[in-house]
Amino acid sequence: METDGGLGSSVESNTGDPGRKYSMVDPNNKNRFTCKFCKKPSTGGVYRFKQHIVGGFRNVTACTACPAHVRQEISDYMFKKQKAKEATQPLVEDFDFGDEEEEEEYVVTKGKRINDSVQANVSKKPREKGFIGGYFAPKPEDMLKGRKGGTQQTINEICKKDLRGKVCREIGRWFYDAGIPFHAATYDSFKIMLEAVAQFGPGFQAPSMHELRVPLLRKEVEETKMEIENHKKEWASKGCSILSDGWRDSTVQKDIINFLVNSPKGSVFMKSIDVSTVTKDAHTLCDMLENLVDEIGEENVVQVVTDNASNYVKAGKFDMF
């Protein structure tokens, strides 16, 4: 610890805050800092003192004796801290209280006047949504995670219980009106869609039939093709397996084979073929598998997996490669 003229002590913070190196703190008041260059006292904590060193802040007098390299050092530190805060707390970036250590220095006892800089920052608090805003929660997935984790419901969640019931009834009516199978509600895409709509907020305009049939569908097809290309690169580098899944559609009395390709990246559906007329023909089944091997690339195929029906067993004995 170093002393300077009896004004107090100059201590470099363990947190690496350079503002403390150029100030003297009053041992009787940790929020009172005295500038080592111009000897001007400040009672707003280390954050206000750094504003005094850098200069250009409202309601804070700039230091006239501070060296240029010190001013640049403090300025760079404040800028770095602000960027770090914005990266970790993007939704509350208007609350510019400095770092955690500086926030503690703004704490005042009951009955004392709050520092002016704190009052200025508090006034920047964004307007909160009223009760009607609860119909469209900005982050519904957070509440869903809390309920799954078994945590206690907050008062806000309890108040929204009736609101959720209203929304669920409207979703149910759409299912009934459009004849949507109920198991569609188990799809992750269904939940993601609802969260996206909720995050948009009131006034969302649903896509038209034309948008669903043309531009949106084209985008999905393009993204699917790009994803398949990524899978093909995986097939070439690590190999893949051809999967044959035979099943019978009892509604139309047809035998169908689904062909898929599996690799460490995942499975990709390739095609479905109606084999009702050739289901017992092992040679035809072998030709189908051989054509698929040629399409994927013989050098990429590690194995072919089928069920254990007699026709597949017989087809597997033929030399396809």
pLDDT of residue 210: 96
Q: Find where tokens 């097939």 sit.
A: 235
CA angle 204, 207, 210 (to 5 degrees): 160
pLDDT digits 0-9 by tens, 182-236: 999 999 999 999 999 999 988 999 999 999 999 999 999 999 999 999 999 999 9
Confidence of residue 102 (pLDDT cuts 50, 70, 90): very low
Residues sharing a CB contact under 8 Å with residue 290, sequence separation 6 or more, in sequence order: 320
* pLDDT above 80: residue 138: no
pLDDT digits 0-9 by tens, 10-33: 444 445 788 788 888 888 888 888
Cβ–Cβ < 8 Å for 282, 311: yes
- Residues above pLDDT 70, as percent of the chain: 71
pLDDT of residue 58: 77
For residue 99, what is the DSSP state? S
* pLDDT above 90: residue 61: no
Give Cα separations from 246 to 210, 263, 270, 312 (angstroms).
Answer: 36, 20, 14, 10
- Report all structural domains of the chain as residue ranges with CATH numbers, in order of start: 2-122 (no CATH), 132-206 (no CATH), 228-316 (3.30.420)
Cβ–Cβ < 8 Å for 40, 63: yes
pLDDT of residue 156: 67
Closest C-alpha to 38, from 23, 50, 58: 23
User: Can you tell me the distance from the alpha carbon of 98 to that of 7, in angstroms, rounded to the nearest whole number?
Assistant: 25
* pLDDT above 80: residue 294: yes
pLDDT of residue 140: 55
Mean pLDDT of 83-102: 54
pLDDT of residue 151: 57
pLDDT digits 0-9 by tens, 260-271: 999 999 999 999
* pLDDT above 70: residue 155: no
131's tokens = 């009760």
How far out from the chain centre does Cα 61 lie? 42
User: Can you tell me the distance from the alpha carbon of 14 to that of 214, in angstroms, rounded to the nearest whole number?
Assistant: 61
Which of 126-140, 203-217, 221-235, 275-289 is predicted with the least confidence, judged by mean pLDDT?
Answer: 126-140
pLDDT of residue 248: 83
Report the first-to-last Cα separation within the chain, whole angstroms.
Answer: 82
Q: Are strands 266-274 and 240-249 parallel, antiparallel or unpaired?
A: unpaired
Per the document, the length of the chain is 321
State the average pLDDT for the chain: 77
> Residue 259 in 3-state DSSP?
strand
User: Can you tell me the distance from the alpha carbon of 166 to that of 173, in angstroms, rounded to the nearest whole number?
Assistant: 11
* pLDDT above 90: residue 150: no
User: Can you tell me the distance from the alpha carbon of 140 to that of 137, in angstroms, rounded to the nearest whole number?
Assistant: 6
